[in-house]
A = this chain, B = another copy of it.
Amino acid sequence: MMKIAMAQIPIISANCMKNFETMKQQIDFAIQKKMNLIIFPEMSVPGYFIGDTWEQSSFLKECEYFNQQISICSSHIDIIFGSIGIDWVKKNEDGRVRKYNSVYYASKGKFIINKKTNYPFWIKSLMPNYREFDDSRYFYDLRKLSQELSCYPKDLYEPIEIKFKNKKLQIGITVCEDGWSQDYTFNPFQQFSENFKHDFFVNLSSSPFTKGKKEKRETLFSSISKKIKTPIFYVNAVGVQNVGKTVYGFDGSSAFYSKKGETKRLGGFFNENLVTGEFHFDSQDFLCSNEDSKETDKSLKNIEEMQIAIEYIIKNCMQQWQIKKVVIGASGGIDSALSAVLFARVLGSENVFLINMPSKFNSELTKKAAYILAENLNCPYTSVSIESSIEITKQQLINLKFKNSSVIPNLTGLVLENIQARDRGGRILSAISATLGAVFSCNANKVELTVGYSTLYGDQAGFLCPLADLWKHDVYDLAQHYNENVYQKEIIPKETLEVVPSAELSENHNVLENKGDPIQYHYHDYLFRSWVEHWDRKTPEDCLQAYFDGTLDKLIGCESGLSLRLFPSAKSFIEDLERWWLCYRGMGAFKRVQAPPIVAVTRRAFGFDHREHIGNPLFTSSYINLKNKILNNNV
């Protein structure tokens, strides 16, 4: 029997010193608990999302230094951890020093050497280059190394062999993506298992949370362990790391997968945890010994997962960025209300300042709703009018004359709307947060970001977009969840939940007359999602064909019959489709470049997971043909 600990630790990007301290603490704790082996996640020392920091030699030396420091800690316990493996002689394909995403095994103060590669580490085989991942940009993998050495990848593999209580143990080593091999021509678990008999495998991961991933991951690893008839210790990180524009939470959810494919959920969801237990060689089973880990095996509803994830990500992000106070432009609408709740839970109500900024277009209804929200949450609250400043801007524009030109500025309604939005974000909220030593949040949701339905330097400004990966129906669901399940009372006012969503920037946005946004969320949420999130990304061509075939609602996943009800004629459908596609690929793309960082929770957050160019939106020739046929009744 071997006592094994799984260290589900939070990892900080590029902060080797801090990560080492976290690891050291867990090692000491595991030694106290008489563990024989402790397993850490992928890239525990350097962090995973650190951008081009990998190009700094001094940073690489820092990593190596702390790798060594960990090996020194292995006198009384064996340590498996993920970190960077460096070959200072060889080159990466970009000409920089050779770097591998690696696993180290430290025992009695030394690293075990892989005799096949002569490296003191084991190399990740598969490199994810989709979504937010950039592995091939930085790391050489086992497959490339095998091409370099003119052999097969499996020729470079051997298990880690250790002697434990007179027993020879063989431990299989894999890293994160190595398990997700279904679309690769190389399957590490299977190929490594063919030549060796392993007592167990480890998989060290830095696998970020997105909606539905936890279930997919469990299904995957349980099927692997069953197939190779070998148990797997799956150890994933927690914590928050960002890729600049997009902020990810790592959900942990470390687990033991038995050789029969049973899943023992042990680490918990977004839970910092040292799971300890006994691995029995005969049964090849793992018996967990700490009580809190045993209890993590409960199912969470989707909305509960979402709540935990968003709160965890915001909280950790605030801590890393050392932000203690947040200012929120509270309009009385649903987005700012949900933002306020989230920040109040994370930072404490007293640190969340709600500012209502009315103009003559704002209704008593929404102003009151903003006030009630502040009272319900007990947040600092104030109201600052934008009327006098707007008036100055208006006068300056009306009086504007240019030397050397006879051009006369055209002060349209849309221009005036945007002036109001910028007066709120770029003038008042920016200035108030600066006087408070605070920052202000951007409350844009995913719909707004998709089609650029927000004003640059206005309501698109802020230090973070907590909601920008939530469709409007997700925003409502989460708001209702807080009222109904978390607080079990009306924290977000019913006025906010019931009022028609509206920008209230002109008389055309009068909520009392039920005039709101030009977006029909119960339909456009799903249409836009098909463009942004579907695996095979949909375009107007796909959507128009489906509308014509009567399958659009099914294709995009909205309520059945909705699209025909909203757009009885093909002409009206096409007008709407083209309007928003132009926004998504046109102004929307342009605005996203300047959007604040986004909290990622879906499979496709804007930013680094949705790489895009700015260009003129295009329609394929098939689309144009189909459209002409339909409009000319030639079909």
Q: Chain B's nearest CB lies how many Å from the CB of A576?
A: 19
Q: Does the CB pair A622–B65 fall under 8 Å?
A: yes
Inter-subunit contact B379/A404 (CB<8 Å): yes
Task: Given A134-B611, A415-B435, A611-B51, decide whether A616 and B320 contact each other with a Cβ distance below 8 A.
Answer: yes
> How distant is A242 from chain B, measured CB to nearest CB, in Å?
5
Name the residue in A134, A322, A435 with the highest tally of chain B Cβ atoms < 10 Å from its Cβ.
Answer: A435
Q: Which residue of B lies closest to A61 (CB)?
A: B622
9 contacts between A and B (CB under 8 A): A53-B613, A58-B620, A62-B620, A93-B129, A144-B185, A379-B404, A381-B403, A409-B435, A410-B437
B384 pairs with A388, CB closer than 8 A: no
Q: Does A161 contact B (CB under 8 A)?
A: no
Is the Cβ of B242 less than 8 Å from the Cβ of A614? yes
- A402 & B381 in contact (Cβ 8 Å cutoff): yes
Interface 1/0 per residue, A400-439 and B, CB below 8 Å = 1111110101111011001100110111101110111100
Question: In the complex, which of the residues A49, A130, A182, A384 has the most CB atoms of chain B within 10 Å of its own CB atom?
Answer: A130
Other A-B pairs, 16, CB within 8 Å; known A56-B539, A374-B403, A423-B427: A14-B618, A49-B613, A51-B612, A52-B611, A58-B622, A94-B130, A127-B136, A143-B147, A148-B185, A321-B616, A380-B402, A384-B396, A410-B436, A410-B437, A414-B434, A426-B427
**With A59-B539, A404-B378, A536-B57 known to touch, is A615 a contact of B435 (CB < 8 Å)?**
no
Decide if A244 is an interface residue (CB 8 Å cutoff): yes
Point out the residues of chain B lying under 8 angstroms from A428, CB to CB: 393, 396
Report the nearest B residue to A379, measured CB to CB: B404
Q: How far is the CB of A313 from chain B (nearest CB, A)?
A: 14
A residues near B (Cβ < 8 Å) are 12-17, 49-53, 55-59, 61-62, 65, 91-96, 126-130, 134, 136-137, 143-144, 147-148, 182-186, 241-245, 320-322, 349-350, 353, 374-375, 378-382, 384, 388-389, 392-393, 396-397, 400-405, 407, 409-412, 414-415, 418-419, 422-423, 425-428, 430-432, 434-437, 456-458, 461, 463, 535-539, 541-542, 589-590, 592-597, 610-616, 618, 620-623
CA distance A52 to B536 in the complex (A): 11
Question: Across the interface, which residues of B come within 8 angstroms of A242, CB to CB?
Answer: 613-615
- Determine if A244 and B593 form an interchain contact, defined as CB atoms under 8 angstroms apart: yes
Interface pair B457/A405, CB less than 8 Å apart: no
Across the interface, A593 reaches (CB within 8 A) one of B245, B419, B539, namely B245
B415 touches A93 (CB 8 A): no
Contact of A536 among B96, B379, B592 (CB under 8 A): B96
**Contact at B615–A542, with CB atoms within 8 Å?**
no
A56 and B537 form a contact (CB under 8 A): yes
User: Bound state CA distance, A233 and B371, in angstroms?
Assistant: 71
Cβ-closest 5 pairs across A and B: A426-B426, A380-B405, A409-B435, A94-B130, A51-B612
Structural contact, A186 and B404, CB atoms closer than 8 A = no
Q: How far apart are A523's CB and chain B's nearest CB, in angstroms?
A: 21
A613 near B50: Cβ-Cβ < 8 Å: yes
Smallest Cβ-Cβ distance to A145: which chain B residue: B185
The minimal Cβ–Cβ distance linking A622 to chain B, given in whole angstroms, is 7
Pair B430/A457 contact, Cβ less than 8 Å: yes
Most chain B beta carbons < 10 A, residue from A61, A65, A431, A456? A431
* A94-B130, A242-B613, A615-B15 as given contacts; A59 in contact with B620, CB under 8 Å: yes
Min distance, Cβ A119 to any Cβ of chain B, angstroms? 17
Most B CB within 10 A of own CB, among A396, A418, A437 = A396
Alpha-carbon distance A541/B542, docked complex (angstroms): 54
With a cutoff of 8 Å between Cβ atoms, the chain B residues found around residue A184 in the complex are 93
Point out the residues of chain B lying under 8 angstroms from A402, CB to CB.
353, 380-382
Residues of B within 8 A of A382 (CB): 400-403
Q: How distant is the Cα of A411 from the Cα of B435 in the complex, in angstroms?
A: 5
Given contacts A134-B611, A382-B401, contact A595 B597 (CB under 8 A): no
